[in-house]
C-alpha cells in the first residue's frame, strides 16, 4: 500500500497527459499482477488455479497461422530424426524431464513453460491440495507420453521425502515416498563393448542417469557418434542401500570417460550442474529471440489454445513474431541444420539441432540461406522471414523443443554457459581434482 501512496504522491506533480498515460499503464500493470499464475497459498484453503496464457487474444490471427491450421508437432517432416543412442535411451522408459524451481516460479507457470496439461495439475491438486507449495531450489521431474500427457510427476521435498503422482487411465495416484536406506558414494567402472549405453546399464546406471550424463556432455563429447569399443569410464554415484543392497540410484557426482587416449572429466557443483575440472561450463548458450531486434509477439506459445468458436484444442507450439518479410532470422544457438525445405503448412522452414537436448524450428520463411548438414553458430543468419505456407500475414513462427517436446521459448530456463562463480571456483577445483585422481586410479589400477 505504501508503494501505491508514494506513486499517487509522485503522480500528483506530473502534467495531465503524463498522468493519463501512467494511469493506463498502471491499469495494465495491475491486470498483469492479478493475472500472474497464483503461487498456491500455503493455507489449506482451496484456491482456483488461474490458467496461464488464457488472456491472449486468440481471435486476432493476423501475422500468425490461421487458428484452425495448427501444425502437428510430431509431423515427421518437422522432426529431428532419432539416432541410435536416442533410441536406446527412450527404449526402456519414457525420458525424464527435470526442473529446478527458480525465484518467482509457480507450479502453474512451470506447467505452462513446458506445455504440460493444466487439467492434470488440477487432478494433482484434488489429491494433494499442497502440491503448489514449492520453493526455490527444489527439484522436480516428470515423464510424459507421446501426446505430452503426464505419466509421473515427482517433487523432491528433501533428501528423505519425495511426493509422487502417477497417472493411469485418466486417474492420478498420489504417494509420499520415503528414502529409508543409507546413502553411500560408490564408483562404477566399465569398458565399452557394444555401446556406451549398454555398458553403462550393465554397470548399474539407470536410463535416467545415463540421459543426464549424455546431456551434460553433449557439447564436449557425442556418445552417439564418438564413443568406441574399448573406451573406459568411471563414475562416482550416490546410491541408496537397504541391508547392503542397492535399492535406488541417486545423483552422479563425477565421471571420467577415457576415449582412446583422451580423458574427459566432469564434476557436479553444489548448484546441481556439471562443470569441467576447471569449473568451466559444459553448456552452450541459447537465445530466446532469433532476430537482431525484438518484434511484437503476434501469437504466444499455447499448447492448450482453444478455437474461440468450435472450442477445439488447436495447439500453438511456438511464438509468432510480427517480422516484416525479409527480416534476418538468426540461429538461436550453435548447432547443425537438419532440415531446410518446404512444407504445405509451414512454408519454407529450417530445423536446427543444438547438442542432444534442444532443437529449434523457424517457419514461413521467405528465403532459406542454409542447407541440411551445415554447422551454424549462435546469431548466424540462416534465413529471411516471410509469409509462406499457411499464414495470415508476414511473421516468423519460432519453436524451441526440449527432447522433442515443444516448450515456451520465452519463459523456460535456458542453458547460459556460466562458469562456477569465481568465489567458489578454488574450492570446486580442489574437490574436482580429488575426485578426478580417485577415478583415474580406478581406471589405471
Ligand atoms: Zn505460429
The b/e string for 23-40 (b: 16+ C-beta within 10 A; e otherwise) is eeeeeeeeeeeeeebbbb
Ligand 1 mean position, distance from CA 397 (Å): 4
Tell me which residue of 431, 419, 393, 422 sits closest to 60, measured CA to CA.
393
Q: According to the model, what pLDDT value does residue 74 have?
A: 78
Ligand 1 mean position, distance from CA 299 (Å): 6
Ligand 1 mean position, distance from CA 411 (Å): 16
Ligand 1 mean position, distance from CA 36 (Å): 23
Ligand 1 mean position, distance from CA 276 (Å): 38
At which residue does the C-alpha cell 557418434 appear? 225
Please name the residues in contact with 348: beta carbons below 8 A apart, sequence gap of 6 or more.
341, 342, 364, 365, 366, 367, 368, 383, 386, 388, 389
Ligand 1 mean position, distance from CA 300 (Å): 8
Ligand 1 mean position, distance from CA 139 (Å): 31
Ligand 1 mean position, distance from CA 147 (Å): 19
Ligand 1 mean position, distance from CA 107 (Å): 25
Ligand 1 mean position, distance from CA 104 (Å): 27
Ligand 1 mean position, distance from CA 314 (Å): 11
Positions of CATH 2.70.70.10 in the chain: 297-407
Q: According to the model, what pLDDT value does residue 147 have?
A: 83
Ligand 1 mean position, distance from CA 382 (Å): 18
Ligand 1 mean position, distance from CA 126 (Å): 34
Ligand 1 mean position, distance from CA 271 (Å): 35
Tell me which residue of 383, 312, 382, 316 sits closest to 345, measured CA to CA.
316
Ligand 1 mean position, distance from CA 321 (Å): 8
Ligand 1 mean position, distance from CA 275 (Å): 36
Q: According to the model, what pLDDT value does residue 28 have?
A: 42
Ligand 1 mean position, distance from CA 219 (Å): 29
Q: According to the model, what pLDDT value does residue 70 have?
A: 66
Q: Could you read off the pLDDT tens digit of each residue along the chain, which spans 445 residues?
A: 344 334 334 433 444 444 444 444 444 444 443 444 443 434 444 555 554 444 444 444 568 888 776 677 778 888 888 888 888 888 888 888 989 898 899 999 999 999 999 999 999 999 999 999 999 989 999 999 988 899 999 999 987 889 999 999 999 999 999 877 777 888 999 999 989 999 999 998 888 889 889 989 999 998 888 899 999 999 999 887 777 776 666 789 999 999 998 999 999 998 888 999 999 999 889 999 999 999 999 999 998 888 878 888 888 999 999 999 999 999 999 999 999 999 999 999 999 999 989 999 999 999 999 999 999 999 999 999 999 999 999 999 999 999 889 999 999 988 888 999 999 999 999 999 999 999 999 999 8
Q: According to the model, what pLDDT value does residue 224 have?
A: 84
Q: What is the DSSP string of 99-137?
A: EEPPTT--HHHHHHHTT--HHHHHHHHHH-TTTT---TT
Ligand 1 mean position, distance from CA 98 (Å): 26
Report the C-alpha gap between 356 and 214 in whole angstroms.
Answer: 8
Ligand 1 mean position, distance from CA 359 (Å): 16
Ligand 1 mean position, distance from CA 364 (Å): 9
Ligand 1 mean position, distance from CA 52 (Å): 18
Ligand 1 mean position, distance from CA 113 (Å): 16
Ligand 1 mean position, distance from CA 55 (Å): 17
Ligand 1 mean position, distance from CA 391 (Å): 8
Q: According to the model, what pLDDT value does residue 178 have?
A: 86
What Å distances lie between residue 81 and 98, 103, 158, 223, CA to CA? 22, 35, 38, 16
Ligand 1 mean position, distance from CA 67 (Å): 9
Ligand 1 mean position, distance from CA 335 (Å): 22
Q: What is the CATH number of domain 297-407?
A: 2.70.70.10
Tell me which residue of 179, 251, 223, 282 sits closest to 84, measured CA to CA.
223
Ligand 1 mean position, distance from CA 348 (Å): 13
Q: What is the DSSP string of 351-367?
A: EEEETTTEEEEEEEEEE
Ligand 1 mean position, distance from CA 318 (Å): 5
Ligand 1 mean position, distance from CA 236 (Å): 44
Amino acid at each position: 500500500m505504501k508503494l501505491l501512496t508514494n506513486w499517487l504522491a509522485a503522480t500528483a506533480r506530473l502534467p495531465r497527459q503524463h498522468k493519463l498515460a501512467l494511469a493506463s499503464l498502471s491499469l495494465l500493470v495491475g491486470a498483469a499482477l492479478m493475472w500472474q499464475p497464483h503461487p498456491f497459498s500455503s493455507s489449506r484453503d482451496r484456491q482456483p488455479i488461474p490458467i496461464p496464457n488464457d488472456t491472449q487474444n486468440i481471435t486476432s490471427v493476423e501475422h500468425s497461422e490461421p487458428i484452425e491450421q495448427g501444425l502437428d508437432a510430431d509431423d515427421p517432416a518437422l522432426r529431428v530424426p532419432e539416432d541410435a543412442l536416442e533410441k536406446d535411451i527412450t527404449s526402456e522408459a519414457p525420458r525424464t524431464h527435470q526442473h529446478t524451481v527458480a525465484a518467482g516460479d509457480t507450479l502453474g507457470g512451470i506447467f505452462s513453460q513446458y506445455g504440460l496439461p493444466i487439467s492434470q495439475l488440477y487432478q494433482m491438486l484434488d489429491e494433494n491440495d499442497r502440491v503448489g507449495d514449492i520453493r526455490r531450489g527444489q527439484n522436480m521431474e516428470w515423464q510424459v507420453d507421446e501426446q505430452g500427457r503426464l505419466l509421473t510427476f515427482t517433487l523432491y521435498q528433501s533428501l528423505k521425502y519425495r511426493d509422487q503422482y502417477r497417472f493411469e487411465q485418466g486417474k492420478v495416484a498420489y504417494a509420499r515416498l520415503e528414502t529409508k536406506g543409507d546413502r553411500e558414494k560408490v564408483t562404477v567402472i566399465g569398458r565399452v563393448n557394444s555401446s556406451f549405453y549398454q555398458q553403462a546399464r550393465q554397470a548399474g546406471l539407470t536410463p535416467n542417469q545415463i540421459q543426464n550424463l549424455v546431456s551434460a556432455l553433449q557439447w564436449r563429447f557425442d556418445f552417439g557418434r564418438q564413443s568406441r569399443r574399448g573406451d573406459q569410464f568411471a563414475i562416482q554415484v550416490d546410491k541408496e542401500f537397504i541391508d547392503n543392497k542397492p535399492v535406488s540410484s541417486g545423483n552422479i557426482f563425477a565421471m571420467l570417460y577415457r576415449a582412446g587416449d583422451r580423458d574427459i572429466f566432469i564434476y557436479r557443483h553444489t548448484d546441481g550442474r556439471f562443470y569441467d575440472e576447471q569449473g568451466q561450463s559444459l553448456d552452450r548458450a541459447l537465445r530466446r529471440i532469433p532476430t537482431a531486434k525484438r518484434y511484437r509477439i503476434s501469437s504466444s506459445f499455447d499448447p492448450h489454445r482453444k478455437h474461440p468458436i468450435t472450442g477445439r484444442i488447436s495447439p500453438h507450439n511456438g511464438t509468432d513474431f510480427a517480422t516484416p518479410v525479409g527480416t534476418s532470422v538468426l540461429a538461436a544457438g550453435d548447432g547443425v541444420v537438419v532440415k531446410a525445405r518446404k512444407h504445405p503448412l509451414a512454408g519454407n522452414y529450417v530445423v536446427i539441432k543444438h547438442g542432444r537436448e534442444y532443437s529449434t524450428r523457424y517457419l514461413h520463411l521467405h528465403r532459406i540461406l542454409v542447407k541440411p548438414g551445415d554447422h551454424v553458430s549462435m546469431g548466424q543468419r540462416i534465413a529471411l522471414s516471410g509469409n509462406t505456407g499457411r499464414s495470415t500475414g508476414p511473421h516468423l513462427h519460432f519453436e524451441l523443443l526440449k527432447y522433442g517436446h515443444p516448450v515456451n521459448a520465452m519463459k523456460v530456463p535456458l542453458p547460459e554457459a556460466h562458469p562456477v562463480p569465481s568465489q567458489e571456483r578454488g574450492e570446486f577445483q580442489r574437490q574436482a581434482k580429488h575426485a578426478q585422481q580417485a577415478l583415474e586410479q580406478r581406471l589405471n589400477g
